Chain A
C-alpha cells in the first residue's frame, strides 16, 4: 500500500472499533418522572452486589435493603426494638424460645400474603444457603423455626439468646416472598420481592437503581408519623463512585441527598442557602487496639501507658477537623449498656501518668528519649487500612507516641489484608473501627472465645467472658445493661482498646426535601418525606 492512503486506513480501523461498540450505548440515567409525587434521588458509592438480603452485602445493598424488605422487628434510633411485621412477641420462660405474632393483612410486592409459612421459608433458606451474609453466624444459632399457626412463628435456640432481636432487626433478616424466590430461581439477587415501602423498579448496571413506591404499604415503622405509603413516587440511587463528583452532582441538582465527611466541603455547603445541613453522629466507634498476646503489649501497664499518651481532642481537632466526637467507652451511645461516665475507668490524656507507668513496667528513657527495657527499645508498628481518614489519624498518633518517647511505624493495607494480618497477630497496635447494633459487640470483638477470629487484639479476661456470657442470655433490659456496664469497667482497666472517637458526618439535603430523618445504623427514613413543588 502506498503511503498516501494511510490516513484513511487508520480512520477506517478506528471507526470499525467504535462502530462495534456503538450499537449498545448505555441508556439514559433514569429521568425524573414528575407524575404522582416526584422523585427523591441520592448518590451511592458502590453498586449493590446483590439485593438478595441473604446474599453478599456491600454498602450499596445495605442502603437499599431496608426499603425493599421489612423485618419482624425494627430497631429505633434510640436503640429500642419495636414491632414491624411482628405485632407482638413472647419470650419463653427458659429464654430458649421466642414466639412472634405476625401482623395481619401484609402483602408482598407480588401480591402474595405474608404468613407464618413465609417466615419459616425465609429463615430455612437463610440457614441453608445464607453463608455469605454478615449475620450468617447469628442465623446459625437458631436451632429451629416452626409455624405454630397461620400467623405465629416460634424461634428456638439451644441456649437463651438475647441477641435475637438485634439479629432479626438487621436488613439482612428481611422476609422474602416464597413464590417470588421460586420464580426468580438463581436471580433472586436481581429480582428482590419483599413487603417494604418500595418495590424494585429498574436496575441499570453501572448507572443506578430506581425503587418505586409500594401503594399498598400501611405497616410502616412506628418511628415515622406516616405509616402508610410514602408521599413521593420514586427513590433513585445513582451510582457515583467519586466523592468530588458526588458533591458536584448535589450542587447541580442531580441528587437531593448526600453524606459529606470532608470538613471543608461541609463548611461551604453550610453557607449555601440551597441546602439544609445536619450533623449526624454515626453509630460506629474508631478505636486503638493493642496486641495483648505480644510483648511488651501483653503487659497491662504498657497498654495503659500508651493509652494515657493519646490526646483524643487533638485527633478530633487536627486529623478530623471536628468531624468526630471523642469516645471514652467501648460501647457506642445507641447500644444498651452505654454510659459515658464509665470513661473514668479508662485512660484520659495524662502524659505524666504514661511515663510513670512505663517506669513501673521496668522501662527507662535512653539518651535519645526512647524508652527501653533490658536494651530492648520500645517501638511499635501501627496497622490500619487505607481508608480515609485513617492516614491522618495514624500520623497524629505517631507524633503523640513520639512525644512520649515511643517511635511508631505506620503500616497501611487494604481492609482484607488488615483483617488477615490481625487474625494472624502480625501487628502491635491496630487502628480500626466497628459498627454493631447490640452490646454483644463486646463479646464479638473482645471475647476470649473469639481470639484469632473477630477478637483481633487477643484479649482474654475470664471475669469479662463470664459477664458477656451472662449478658447474652439476659432478656431483662435493665439487668442486661448493668451486666455490660460491669464488663466495660473491667475492659477499660485492662486497656486492650483505647476508644478514640465516634465519627460525625454531614447530612446535606436539598431545600425541596422536607421531613428526612436518620434512623438506626445511619438508615435514611423517608416515610415522612415530602417534596416541595410536587
Chain B
C-alpha cells in the first residue's frame, strides 16, 4: 500500500511538471503577448518594447519557465499578476474557496442523489418510475449546463422568485449553481448505479443471501449496493476534471466569485503568472482527489491495490 501511494505521488509530481510546462509554453507561444494585449490598440512599437523588456518577456522561454518554477517550488512564490501587480497567491486565496465550495457540494449532490435515484430505478426496474428516472438521466446528460442555467434562472429566480438570480453569500445563492453543475455527473452516477445494482442482484451470493432468509431490504443495502458502487466511484473520480471545467462555465453564468472567470480572463490577457498560479493550484487538487478516489477504490476492491486490475 505504501509503495502504491508513493508511486502515485511520484506520478502526480511528474504530471504537475508536464502541466506547468504545457501551460507556460502554450501561453507564451500563443500569438500576441502580455505587452500587446495590455497596451491594446493605441500603443506604439517603442511602448510595447519597453513594457516587454520590463516584464522580462524578451528572455528565452526555457529561462523564464525555469525562473518561474524555481521561485514557485523553492519559495512557494507564484509571482505577481502582470496586470494588477497583485501577488497571484493572494488573488487565488480570495477566489479558490468559492470554487471548492461549489465543486465539493456538487460532487456530494451528484454522488448522494445519483446513488439514491439509481437504486430507486433499479428496485422499480421496468416500472413507470424507472422509465421516468432513466429518461430524466438522458435529459440531464443531453442538456448543456449553459442552457440549463439560463432556464433555471428564468424559472426559479425570475418567474417564481424563490431563489436569487446570481451572486453569492447565502445558502440560497448556492442552490442553482450546485444543481446546474452536479446534474450531468448525477445522471451518470444514477445510470451506472442502476445498471450495476441490476447486475449484482443476479449474482450467486445475492441468491445465497436471500436463500438463507435475509430480509430483501438488508440484502439490497448491505450486499448489493456496496458492490454496485465501484463503477460509480471510478466515474465520479474521472469526472472531477470535467466538474472543474464545468465550474468555470457555471461560475460565469451565476457570477459566482470563484477562480473560473478569473482564469479565463487571465488567458485572454496573456497574464502568465495568473494562469500558471491557477493551474498549479487546481491541477494538484484534481490529481489529489483522483488519488483519494483511487485509494477508496482500493479499499473497496483489494484487486486494485494489488495491481491485479
Contacts and interface: CB of A to CB of B under 8 A. Distances in A.
A135 B38 CA distance: 12
A136 B226 contact: no
Interface in A193-252: 204-207, 238-242, 244-245, 248-249, 251-252
B254 to A, nearest CB: 7
Given A17-B289, A189-B86, A454-B43, A245 B108 contact: no
A93 interface: no
B296 interface: yes
Contacts of A204: 257
Contacts of B95: 205-206
Interface of A: 1, 3-4, 6-7, 9-11, 13-15, 17-18, 20-29, 46, 49-50, 55-56, 58, 131-132, 134-137, 140, 186, 189-190, 204-207, 238-242, 244-245, 248-249, 251-252, 254, 413-421, 434-436, 444, 450, 452-454
A393 to B, nearest CB: 18
Contacts of B255: 207, 238-242, 245
B42 to A, nearest CB: 6
Given A24-B97, A190-B86, A206-B258, A415 B268 contact: yes
Contact of B39 (A18, A46, A132): A132
Interface of B: 30-33, 36-48, 50-51, 54, 81-86, 91, 94-98, 100-101, 104-105, 107-108, 111-112, 115, 150, 153-154, 157-158, 161, 164-170, 222, 225-227, 229, 233, 252-258, 261-262, 265, 268-270, 289, 292, 296, 299-300
B217 to A, nearest CB: 14
A174 to B, nearest CB: 18
A229 B43 CA distance: 36
Nearest to B93: A24
Nearest to B285: A17
B253 to A, nearest CB: 5
A56 B296 contact: no
A488 B150 CA distance: 47
B258 A444 contact: no
A206 B97 contact: no
A14 B104 contact: yes
Contacts of B105: 18
A248 B157 contact: yes
A243 B300 CA distance: 46
Contact of B299 (A6, A135, A419, A450): A6
Nearest to B168: A26
Given A4-B226, A27-B169, A436-B42, 4 more contacts: A10-B111, A21-B100, A25-B168, A29-B168
Contacts of A240: 166, 255
Contacts of A29: 167-169
Given A6-B299, A450-B44, A131 B229 contact: no
Contact of B51 (A1, A10, A131): A131
B80 to A, nearest CB: 9
Contacts of A207: 167-168, 255, 257
A73 B121 CA distance: 71
Contacts of B258: 206
Contacts of A58: 83, 269
15 contacts: A3-B227, A6-B299, A10-B233, A14-B107, A18-B105, A24-B97, A25-B97, A50-B85, A137-B46, A241-B255, A248-B154, A415-B37, A416-B31, A416-B268, A419-B32
Given A15-B108, A416-B32, A205 B257 contact: yes
A417 B101 contact: no
A254 B32 CA distance: 37
Nearest to B166: A245
Given A20-B100, A50-B84, A242-B255, A420 B31 contact: yes
B299 A9 contact: yes
Contacts of B150: 244
For B54, B115, B233, B269, which residue has the most chain A Cβ atoms within 10 angstroms?
B269
A453 B39 CA distance: 12
B47 A131 contact: yes
B84 A417 contact: no
Nearest to B94: A205
Contacts of A3: 226-227, 300
Contacts of B91: 205
B246 to A, nearest CB: 15
B300 A6 contact: yes
Contact of A49 (B84, B97, B100): B84
Nearest to B34: A416
Contact of B296 (A10, A50, A436): A10
Contacts of A238: 167, 255
Contacts of B256: 206
For B91, B257, B269, which residue has the most chain A Cβ atoms within 10 angstroms?
B257
Contacts of A135: 42
A22 B303 CA distance: 35
Given A4-B226, A26-B257, A137-B43, A248 B300 contact: no
B209 to A, nearest CB: 13
A301 B52 CA distance: 39
Given A3-B300, A55-B85, A134-B40, A22 B51 contact: no
Contact of A6 (B82, B84, B268, B296): B296
5 nearest A-B pairs in the assembled complex, by CB-CB distance: A206-B257, A416-B32, A28-B169, A21-B100, A3-B226
B100 A17 contact: yes
Nearest to B39: A134
A46 B265 contact: yes
Contact of A248 (B40, B47, B54, B166): B166
A17 B104 contact: yes
A242 B253 CA distance: 5
B45 A452 contact: yes
A421 B36 CA distance: 12
B292 A6 contact: no
For B30, B40, B107, B154, which residue has the most chain A Cβ atoms within 10 angstroms?
B40
Contacts of B300: 1, 3, 6
Nearest to A250: B165
Nearest to A434: B41
A251 B166 CA distance: 12
A414 B266 CA distance: 13
Nearest to B53: A131
A450 B45 CA distance: 8
Contacts of B158: 248, 251-252
